[in-house]
Amino acid sequence: MRDVIGVIPAGGYAARVSPLPCSKELYPLGLRSTKDGPRSRPKVVSHYLLEKMRTAGITKAYFVLRPGKWDIPAYFGDGTMVDMHLGYLILGLPFGVPFTLDQAYPFVKDSTVAFGFPDILFDSADPFGLLLERQERSGSDVTLGLCPATCPTSQEDRVDVNAAGDVAKIHLNPPESPLEYSWVVAVWMPRFTEFLHRYIHDRKTAGLETEVSAGHAIDAGIKAGLRVDSTVVSNSPYLDIGTPDGLRMALQRSAELL
């Protein structure tokens, strides 16, 4: 069994949905079962991502936090709630998700990394299991989990992918695109972790203080010759609760399940 470690970025300010009474990763959406009986405790949004990791047999994960988001470790603690071992790292430079992820480099550089956004919801029973199986077969450096884009003008990253699942390019938040798929989760091997570390080092050395996304880093890896593969993990678009429309829709769906 290879060592697979989850890395979860939680360094944002949730500016689009502020003010909130808690970190957006802890926004309650639904109820979870406990030893006290079914449907007896609130279930926060990031719990869904951790559940998906645990379903795939992943037992270790790091949250990377900005200073001040202490409610996240206070809530999840050592991970007993989700049957995982959780650790918490502190964000350095606030220039986007790749900088956040690189804070975990010393702890995950020799492991397979499972990556997901803690404020995004999507329908999939075992997405990380699918990705790990796909990566095992393909030997790719990065394997992306795809889902349909919301609509041609929805401005998610779009994935230029062929019928075999090979990814040629990530189109970053295009205003309009005919491409069918966006991406929502990923797993990657140590080769990409090293590439990401150099990518961040080069930006720091050059004094580039513009924000970059995870899609920027993955697309840069493709241009550098890394192999990026993909597989569909959901037949429905994802919901980003970090946007007002996404939060509204998530709350509506949660209310329908109660």
pLDDT, tens digit (0-9, with 9 covering 90-100), for 98-155 = 999 999 999 999 999 999 999 999 999 999 999 999 999 999 999 999 999 988 888 8
Q: Roughly how many angstroms between the first and final C-alpha of the chain, as a whole number?
A: 38
**CA atoms lying within 13 Å on the CB side of residue 172:** 10
Residue 256: predicted pLDDT: 63
Q: Are 98 and 11 in contact (CB under 8 A)?
A: no
Residue-wise pLDDT tens digits, 157-189: 999 999 999 999 999 999 999 999 999 999 999
Residue 41 has a pLDDT of 79
- Confidence class of residue 193 from pLDDT cuts 50, 70 and 90? very high
The better pLDDT of the pair 195, 93 is held by 195
Predicted local distance difference test score (pLDDT) of residue 30 = 82
pLDDT computed for residue 93 by the predictor: 87
Q: Which amino acid is at 109?
A: K
Indicate whether 257 pLDDT > 60.
no
Cα gap 227→247, rounded to integer Å: 34
pLDDT for the residue 253: 82
- Phi and psi at 157, nearest 5°, equal -55, 140
Tens digits of residue pLDDT in 19-48:
889 999 999 998 777 665 555 678 999 999
This prediction has a pTM of 0.93
Q: Is the domain defined by 4-253 classed in CATH 3.90.550.10?
A: yes
Strand partners, 182: 147
Q: Are strands 60-65 and 85-90 parallel, antiparallel or unpaired?
A: parallel
Determine the pLDDT at residue 101.
Answer: 97
Average pLDDT, whole number, for the chain?
Answer: 93
